[in-house]
C-alpha cells in the first residue's frame, strides 16, 4: 500500500469502498453526522481507534 496520499475520482472511491476500503471523514460532530457516507469514521477518532483499525484495508479520506 502506498505511504502517500493520492487523489482519486468518486468512481474509484466507490469501487474501493465496495472492495472493503475504510472511509475517513475530515469532519466531526454534527457536520460528520450530516455528511457521513456509509460506515465512515471521523478523522478525530483515528487516534483513539488506532489499535482497532485494520492494517490491511485501504483508507479513503474525504
Those residues with Cβ within 8 angstroms of residue 18's Cβ, 6 or more apart along the chain or in another chain: none
What pLDDT score does 2 carry? Answer: 59
Per-residue pLDDT reduced to its tens digit, 9-20: 999 999 999 999
**Any idea where the domains of the chain sit in the sequence?**
10-51
For Cα atoms 10, 52, 15, give the angle at the middle one, nearest 5 degrees: 20
pTM of the model: 0.81
Cα 4 → chain centroid: 15
Nearest to 49 by CA among 24, 12, 16: 24
Per-residue pLDDT, averaged over 41-50, amounts to 92
At 5, is the pLDDT very low, low, confident or very high (cuts 50, 70, 90)? confident
What pLDDT score does 55 carry? Answer: 86
Cell 469514521: give the residue: 41
- What's the CA gap between 62 and 60, in Å, rounded? 7
Per-residue pLDDT, averaged over 32-59, amounts to 92
Per-residue pLDDT, averaged over 21-33, amounts to 95
Amino acid at each position: 500500500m502506498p505511504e502517500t496520499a493520492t487523489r482519486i475520482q468518486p468512481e474509484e472511491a466507490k469501487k474501493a469502498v465496495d472492495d472493503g476500503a475504510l472511509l475517513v471523514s475530515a469532519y466531526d460532530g454534527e457536520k460528520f453526522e450530516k455528511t457521513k457516507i456509509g460506515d465512515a469514521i471521523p478523522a478525530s477518532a483515528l487516534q483513539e481507534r488506532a489499535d482497532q483499525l485494520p492494517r490491511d484495508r485501504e483508507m479513503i479520506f474525504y
